[in-house]
Amino acid sequence: MQKLHLVMGGRVKDPQGLEFQDLKAIDVVGVFPDYASAEEAWRGAAQKTVDDAEMRYVIVHLHRLLEPALPKD
């Protein structure tokens, strides 16, 4: 089964949270076929903004959203 992952990021309201300031300014890095490639893309994007505490990149497990009944392995 294909396990899609989305890597995205943007400026957050609180560095401890995940509420983005401007949804129109979200940086969509891409959709990846496995966690390893998504993590590599996430690391690259996050590293570019490492000195900006208000910028945050995340990995979204799209396969869990598309088929929530699947096991979380």
3-state DSSP assignment of residue 54? coil
**Structural domains of the chain, count:** 1
**In-domain check, residue 73:** no
Residue 25 sits in a domain of what CATH number? Answer: 3.30.70.2400
Using CA atoms, how far residue 36 sits from 7, 29, 42, 54, in Å, is 12, 15, 10, 25
**Domain hosting residue 57, numbered range:** 5-66
**In-domain check, residue 31:** yes
Each residue's pLDDT, cut to its tens digit, for the chain (73 residues) gives 788 999 999 999 998 999 999 999 999 999 999 999 999 999 999 999 989 989 999 999 998 888 777 766 5
Using CA atoms, how far residue 28 sits from 8, 50, 54, 58, 72, in Å, is 4, 17, 17, 10, 24
